[in-house]
């Protein structure tokens, strides 16, 4: 019975942690995102948003919803700073200014080099390990799936 109670406490703690970052839970942020989406992300307003959106943002997959979250993040950060509070995290990340379509350019650059290193190691593996090896195809498939998963995460 005590083990069940301990599991329940751990599960409740994990659910509380999974509920998002402080900035995500902030009512000012949530209301701002809701109002921004109502104002900008439907009908003629959405067409206007898309017509003024730079091509590199379109190619990177930034949506009106993403733009609302980004703009409202800074509204919330300004409010926190105005009242002397520490800057909160949003969606598990610290707020960074956007450069082109990168919100975290250093992280994107590090991910690019990580992907490049993984690709080089995959090429090295394919040239040094015979294709007839028992786990060869499994390792190659795993490496490609890892690359695809990491490229979509950014």
3-state class of 90 per DSSP?
A: strand
Q: What is the pLDDT of residues 110-120, one digit of tens each?
A: 778 887 888 88
pLDDT band at 140 (very low <50, low <70, confident <90, very high): confident
Residue 3: predicted pLDDT: 62
74-78 average pLDDT score: 90
The answer to whether residues 111 and 150 touch, using CB atoms and an 8 Å cutoff, is yes
Q: What is the pLDDT of residues 15-70, one digit of tens each?
A: 555 557 777 888 889 999 999 998 888 888 888 888 888 887 777 778 888 888 88
Residue 154: predicted pLDDT: 47
Residue 19: predicted pLDDT: 57
pLDDT band at 4 (very low <50, low <70, confident <90, very high): low
Residue 57: predicted pLDDT: 79
Whether the per-residue pLDDT at 103 is higher than 80: the answer is no
Q: Quickly count helices (H) and strands (E) in the chain.
A: 8, 0
């Amino acid at each position: 019975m005590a083990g069940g109670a301990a599991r329940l406490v751990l599960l409740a703690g994990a659910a509380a942690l999974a509920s998002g970052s402080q900035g995500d839970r902030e009512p000012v942020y949530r209301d701002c995102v809701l109002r921004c989406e109502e104002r900008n992300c439907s009908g003629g307003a959405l067409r206007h948003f898309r017509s003024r959106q730079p091509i590199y943002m379109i190619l990177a997959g930034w949506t009106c919803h993403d733009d609302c979250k980004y703009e409202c993040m800074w509204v919330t950060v300004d409010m926190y700073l105005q009242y002397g509070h520490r800057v909160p995290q949003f969606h598990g990340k610290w707020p960074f200014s956007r450069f082109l379509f990168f919100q975290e350019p250093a992280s994107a650059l590090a991910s690019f080099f990580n992907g490049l290193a993984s690709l080089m190691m995959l090429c090295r593996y394919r040239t040094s390990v015979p294709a007839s090896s028992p786990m060869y195809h499994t390792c190659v498939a795993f490496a490609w799936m890892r690359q695809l998963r990491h490229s979509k995460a950014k």
